[in-house]
């Protein structure tokens, strides 16, 4: 069963926008995962792999949360009852796997995105980070990624023209745009800025004394 109509590339609906966002987030998660899994093939130092794994996992939690915020907050609200009835069995089955890691959103909110504080209380002091039930390994995180990948595939199967419409619209808009990106700093420019920063901080240190504890 398909829920499609002839494309109108000049009319982007809120549903088209939501499908595009879901695809962008899904692709970003897959891209991070592929990069991380490829590191051992290049004989990268294991300590670096562990660090990148942590960084990618934390960013992954943000992306996973963003994906399902978009799914529940926008995508499903824009569906007809018939469309909801079609996709719900898929989501229910996928959710049964996601339920293995129920604290991803809480971990994202309390640990990754909100400065390790909840209601002015320190998370590490008041709650063990090990108490969050989240993916612990690449294999476990891969399960979550696969869930998002399959859900996105089902959505694209329902609305095969939506993503193409938005991509074409964004591409056309970019071609017409007169905004010129600021060129990045050269290594020499960055080094000069850093040296000036260090010099100025040293000057401040020379004129200041650490206050006594009260």
- In the chain, where are the structural domains located? 14-207
Cβ atoms of 66 and 25 within 8 Å: the answer is yes
CA proximity to 146, closest of 21, 56, 33:
33
Q: Where does the pLDDT of residue 189 fall: very low under 50, low under 70, confident under 90, or very high at 90 and above?
A: very high
Measured between alpha carbons, how far is 17 from 170 in angstroms, rounded to an integer?
11
Nearest to 137 by CA among 49, 42, 45, 25: 49
Phi, psi of 122 (to 5 degrees): -70, 125
3-state class (DSSP) for residue 136: coil
Find out whether 112 and 61 touch, Cβ atoms under 8 Å: yes
**pLDDT at residue number 84:** 95
Q: From start to end of the chain, where are the E strands?
A: 117-118, 121-122
Tell me phi and psi for residue 137, to 5 degrees.
-135, 170
**Residue 135: exposure state from Cβ atoms within 10 A (0-12, 13-18, ≥19):** buried
CB 167 within 8 A of CB 21: no
Spatial contact of 13 and 155, defined as CB atoms under 8 Å apart: no
For the record, the structure tokens of 27 come out as: 């692709």
Query: What is the DSSP annotation of 86-103?
Result: HHHHHHHHHHHHHTTSTT
Round to whole Å and give the CA distance between 35 and 182: 27
- Between CA 83 and CA 48 the distance in angstroms is 45
The model's pLDDT over 131-141, given as tens digits with 9 standing for 90+, comes to 788 887 778 88
Q: Taking residues 177-182, report their average pLDDT.
A: 72
Tell me the sheet residues that pair with 118: 121
What backbone phi and psi angles, to 5 degrees, belong to 22? -60, -40
- What is the Cα–Cα distance from 120 to 195, expressed in whole angstroms? 36
Find the range with the poorest average confidence among 23-37, 105-119, 156-170.
105-119
pLDDT at 6 (0 to 100): 45
The yes-or-no verdict on residue 128 having pLDDT over 50 is yes
What are 46-90's pLDDT values in tens digits? 565 555 556 667 778 889 999 999 999 999 999 999 999 999 999
């Amino acid at each position: 069963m398909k829920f499609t109509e002839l494309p109108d590339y000049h009319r982007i609906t809120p549903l088209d926008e939501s499908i595009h966002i879901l695809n962008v987030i899904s692709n970003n998660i897959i891209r991070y995962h592929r990069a991380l899994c490829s590191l051992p093939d290049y004989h990268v130092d294991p300590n670096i792999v562990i660090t990148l794994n942590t960084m990618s996992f934390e960013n992954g939690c943000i992306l996973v949360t963003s994906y399902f915020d978009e799914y529940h907050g926008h995508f499903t609200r824009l569906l007809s009852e018939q469309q909801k009835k079609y996709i719900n069995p898929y989501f229910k089955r996928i959710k049964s796997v996601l339920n293995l890691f129920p604290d991803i959103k809480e971990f994202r909110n309390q640990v990754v995105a909100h400065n390790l504080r909840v209601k002015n209380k320190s998370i590490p002091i008041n709650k063990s980070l090990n108490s969050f039930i989240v993916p612990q390994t690449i294999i476990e995180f891969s399960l979550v990624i696969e869930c998002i990948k399959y859900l996105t595939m089902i959505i694209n199967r329902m609305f095969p023209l939506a993503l193409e419409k938005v991509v074409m619209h964004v591409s056309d808009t970019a071609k017409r745009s007169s905004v010129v990106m600021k060129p990045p700093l050269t290594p020499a420019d960055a080094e000069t800025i850093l040296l000036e920063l260090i010099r100025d901080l040293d000057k401040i240190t020379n004129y200041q004394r650490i206050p006594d504890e009260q």
